[in-house]
Amino acid sequence: MSKKAKPTPLTKLLKAWTGASPEERQAFLDLVTAEVRAKGDQAHSMNARAPESPATDPVPIDRETLIANGRYLLPSTIARVEMVMRARNLAPTAVMAELGFSPRDTSLTRALAMKASLRLSVIAELALWLHANEAGVTRQE
């Protein structure tokens, strides 16, 4: 009989992440963000000749940049998407078509209505779409 393989730290982390509440996930992300920024500050202070570039910050600071927590849209993102959809009189299936996915794909509808998960490719395209369309909506109002 074969011995059961021990789970790796990564599988343990993934299992803990899926079982964590949204508040616990956010607390973890805040902790990681603080550690990454602290390490970045230490690296800059140790090497003073290195030019500082805002593009090298691995953690997005801008609220416009962060639209999801993993595969789940943030509540603020849902509100922003719905605002653009109302302003442009769009259905979620029309948004999916604009993103380059099948208009018969109902994953965005489920994500907005029932807070279901989305594919990472949809989230990436949605971030670009939201950035482009929010600028137009705010100018019209």
33-84 pLDDT, tens per residue? 777 777 666 655 555 554 444 444 444 445 556 888 888 998 989 999 999 9
Tell me what the pLDDT averaged over the chain comes to.
79
- Kindly report whether the global pTM for this prediction surpasses the value 0.75: no
Instruction: State pLDDT tens for residues 8-29.
Output: 888 888 888 888 888 888 878 8
Do 92 and 106 meet the contact criterion of CB atoms below 8 Å apart? yes
